[in-house]
Chain A
Amino acid sequence: MTLNCKHVWAQVSDYIDGTVTPETKEAIERHLANCRYCSAVLDSTRNILVLVGDERTFEVPVGFGERLHNRLQSLMDPPGSGA
């Protein structure tokens, strides 16, 4: 199997997830070994996803957890329950 750049781009997401067939994986890796452009596409995509997945990328508002559990607690202890 021989892949061109467009074929490789179309498979980048599945390749990152490891869901391509062994035959496709081998063909992609053969192409990557000789194509700096597709290697850069794969490296940049993978690196950007690592950065997106970093928990510091999304900050949760200060006090979020406390307000959530307080609201939940007030539901568990309705007014007049003595809690």
Chain B
Amino acid sequence: MKSAEEKDAKRSALVAETNSREASLIARILDGERELFHELIRPYERGLYVAAYSIVQHEADAEDVAQESVIKAYKCLKSFRGEARFSTWLMAITLNEARNRWRKNKGDQLDFLSDCDESAGDYTPSVLADWRYIPSEEVDRQELRTALRGAIAKLSPEQREVLILRDVRGMSIAETASATGVNEGLVKVRLFRARISMQKLLAPQLMPKQRGIMGWLTRKAGGQ
């Protein structure tokens, strides 16, 4: 197994290579090769949809938000200064669009980023005597995917954002902070609460003694 240092070095090299390639693409797009914008956003389009969906919780709205965000990024590309990574800048635009859509849909006057959720809630995990590992192949099961998405939907919008950026998109804490517009400390707090809540919501449901998904997995493992 590779050491954490090796993984970090590999990730840094990949990031540097991507940044360099994207800077070159952006320069050419701004110089008139507009078609290259398709290539620039292609690696991120799926992530934009998932991030938008995590906030608006509606497929058609998430798709519309993703499209609007890409168009806004295209129109505003000149204003991209390269202080953050392009992917982080693009994600920040998407999150803003999604928050606006969410507010509009909810008719909610509360500020999306009000920290009203930060002190409330019980963030104690579900305490189990043991845990049966669930292999990734089981994500092919619609039932499991529904349970995972259902648990995410129960998180606060702020927690959903950081969970999606960090644990689904694999962004660093610093990139997540930059994309969401909050400091790293608050990202960590929200991430902690999101992860513990996911464990609390899902672990009992997925345990072998329960009926349902895990019961099915257990029976399958036992060849029944």
Q: Chain B residues in contact with chain A, CB under 8 A?
A: 4, 34-35, 37-38, 41-42, 45-46, 49-50, 53, 59, 63, 66-67, 70-71, 74, 124-131, 133-134, 136, 138-140, 144-145, 148-149, 152, 163, 167-168, 170, 173, 188, 191-192, 195-196, 198-199, 202-203, 206
A37–B173 Cα distance when bound, in Å, is 28
Interface pair B173/A51, CB less than 8 Å apart: no
Q: Which residues from chain A contact B188 at a C-beta distance below 8 Å?
A: 13-14, 19
Within 8 A of B (CB), among A1-43: 5, 9-10, 12-14, 16-19, 36-37, 39-41, 43
Q: Which residues of A contact B (CB under 8 A)?
A: 5, 9-10, 12-14, 16-19, 36-37, 39-41, 43-45, 47-61, 64-65, 67-69, 71-73, 75-76
Q: Are B168 and A18 in contact, CB atoms less than 8 angstroms apart?
A: no
Measured CB to CB, the closest approach of chain A to B205, in angstroms, equals 10
| B152 surroundings in chain A (CB, below 8 A) | 52
Q: Which residues of B contact A50 (CB under 8 A)?
A: 136
Chain A residue nearest to B48 (CB atoms) is A68
